[in-house]
Amino acid sequence: MDPRIREHAEVVADHSVDLSAGDDVVIVAPPEADDLVTALHEVIGDRGANPIALSGNDRFQRAYLRARDEEFETPSHEQALIEETDVYIAIRANRNVTETSDVDPETNAAYSQAHQPILDERLSKRWCLTQYPAPANAQLAEMSSEAYENFVWDAILKDWDAVREHQAQMVDILDPADEVRIVSGDTTDVTMSVDGNPTLNDYGEKNLPGGEVFTAPIPDSVEGEVLFDKPLYHQGREVTGVYLEFDGGEVIDHSAEKNEDVLTEVLETDEGARRLGELGIGMNRDIDRFSYNMLFDEKMGDTVHMAVGRAYGDTVGEDNEQNQSAVHVDMIVDMSEDSYIEVDGEVVQRDGTFRFEDGEDD
């Protein structure tokens, strides 16, 4: 077994979910990730905790959802399992990333809605979402399997304490700030207030890889226009050249080069889907390319991402409005060239170099 698999398991256990003796642990993983799940069982055994492994197999889910036509209910056995667990570890890995492409989106949505109480319960635990480098995921990223393994493990097997300290410098700038302006080339110039909204430091706990700092814009404060450089991959379809224009916080105009209808559908989901729910700064420079996987893409070094839709509760100050929506769709702007981030009138990042990195190599 590749020694990085055991290291990966140790990072999940010891860093991401802070595993202790006696913890009850749920692991959800597809068979492609068997090696990592085996290594996790070894670590969990060593730490004196209690694992149970669920099959996160897309084939099962597809077969079930296509066969079911009645209304869904919240299964009490699954809810009881999640209520009683201390730790929840979800591993992504695919045999075929388009396995559920012929499931009716409405069925999917009805299933998700019935499972919302279980999802909420899960998010109240110590949890981690990570990726195992399966060949189908390499294919989606247009990489060889070996190059993709290197890419995934370079992004994951890091000194996360050092990452936390490095990123804290950006948190210290953004957390007390009022106005943020993002400028890139001639196509992106957008301003928004983050006044009173906390900025969080993601250093590989709930998401592994981590590597971003993020907050929520004040919903009605967003003004200007953004051309997103990186494609959006939504429900199995690629949307390129996404352009959004904001006025009073709302998207008042939008277009895309490819699959604009997917973008339109997202924006028309509900009222909150036309407003921003997140502003994030990608700071993981080991993620040096786009891989059609938001778990990695949004942490890519020298990028900024904005999400239309729901804001995370812990990024919203208690006197501020939390943007509500059924969706949360991230989109990415490349900040590596001809770009800058301005906070309260001061440039804090230019062409991918932060103010606090002046004189440092990147």
Q: Which residues bind its own copies (CB under 8 A)?
A: 21-22, 24, 26, 29, 31, 34, 37-39, 41-46, 48, 50-55, 57, 59-61, 63-68, 70, 73, 75-86
Residue whose structure tokens are 């895309």: 256
Judged by beta carbon, residue 77 or residue 361, the one nearer its own copies is: 77
β-bridge partners, 202: 212
Q: Whole-number minimum distance, CB 88 to its own copies, in Å? A: 10
Asked if 61 contacts 37 with a C-beta cutoff of 8 angstroms, the reply is no
Q: Minimum distance from CB of 74 to its own copies (Å)?
A: 9
Tokens of 9: 């398991």
- Please give, one letter per residue, the 3-state secondary structure of 315-335: HCCCCCCCCCCCCEEEEEEEC
What is the smallest separation between the CB atom of 330 and its own copies, expressed in angstroms?
29
C-beta of 33 vs 173, nearer to its own copies: 33
Give the nearer residue to its own copies in terms of CB position, either 77 or 359.
77
CA distance 333 to 242: 10
* Nearest distance, CB of residue 102 and its own copies, angstroms: 14
Q: Could you tell me which of 187, 185, 204 has the C-alpha nearest to residue 287?
A: 204
Identify which of residues 88 and 203 has a Cβ nearer to its own copies in the complex. 88
Provide the minimum distance between the beta carbon of 160 and its own copies in the complex, in angstroms, as a whole number.
Answer: 23
Q: Using CB atoms within 10 Å of the CB of residue 120, give its burial: 0 to 12 exposed, 13 to 18 middle, 19+ buried.
A: exposed
CB nearer to its own copies: give 58 or 298. Answer: 58
Shortest distance, position 31 Cβ to its own copies, whole Å = 4
Measuring CA to CA, which residue among 87, 81, 83, 82 is closest to residue 47? Answer: 87
The minimum distance between CB 85 and its own copies, in angstroms, equals 4
What is the closest distance, in whole angstroms, from the C-beta atom of residue 20 to its own copies in the complex?
12
Cβ proximity to its own copies: between 132 and 290 the closer is 132
DSSP per residue, 71-91: -----HHHHHHHHH-SEEEEE
For its own copies, give the closer residue by CB, 22 or 236: 22
Q: Which residues pair with 355 in a beta bridge?
A: none
- The owner of tokens 């990186």 is 230
Are 223 and 205 contacting, i.e. CB atoms less than 8 angstroms apart? no
Residue given tokens 């004196």 in the structure block: 48
Nearer to its own copies, 78 or 265 (CB): 78
Locate the DSSP E strands across 204-300: 207-208, 212-215, 223-227, 232-234, 237-239, 243-247, 250-255, 276-282
